[in-house]
Amino acid sequence: MLPARVFCICLLVVTSAAAQDTPAVKQAEAACGSFRQSFRVDTSGAANVLAPAQAGKVQVYVIEDWDPIDGGRINRPTVRVGMDGHWMGATQSDSYLYFSADPGQHHLCVNWKSGAGTVKNLVALFELDAKPDQTCYFRAGFTRVEGIDFTLRFAPLNSDEARLLPGQYPRARWSVKK
Evaluate whether 141 touches 65 at the Cβ level (below 8 Å): yes
- Classify residue 138: in a domain, yes or no: yes
- Other Cβ atoms closer than 10 A to 37: 16
10 in a structural domain: no
CB 32 within 8 A of CB 109: yes
Structural domain includes residue 2: no
Please, are residues 108 and 125 in contact by the beta-carbon 8 Å criterion?
Answer: yes
Full domain range(s) for residue 90: 24-176
**104 in any annotated domain:** yes
Residue 24: per-residue pLDDT: 61
Contact 103, 134 (CB under 8 A): yes
The answer to whether residue 14 is domain-embedded is: no
In eight-state DSSP terms, residue 68 is T
What is the tally of structural domains in the chain? 1
Supply angle C-alpha 159, 160, 161, rounded to 5. Answer: 95
Q: Could you tell me which residues are beta bridge partners of residue 40? A: 175
Can you give the pLDDT of all 178 residues of the chain as single tens digits?
Answer: 544 443 333 333 333 344 455 676 676 678 998 888 889 998 887 667 677 778 999 999 999 987 655 555 556 778 999 999 999 999 988 889 999 999 999 999 999 866 555 556 789 999 999 999 999 999 998 877 766 667 888 999 988 888 788 778 888 999 998 8
| The pLDDT value given to residue 137 | 94
Q: What is the CA radius of gyration of the chain?
A: 19
Model pLDDT, residue 19: 44
Let me know if residue 11 belongs to a domain.
no
Tell me the three state secondary structure of residue 23: helix
In a domain? residue 51: yes
CATH number at 129 reads 2.60.40.2890
Q: What is the pLDDT of residue 92?
A: 87
Residue 8 lies inside a defined structural domain of this protein: no
Report pLDDT for 160: 85
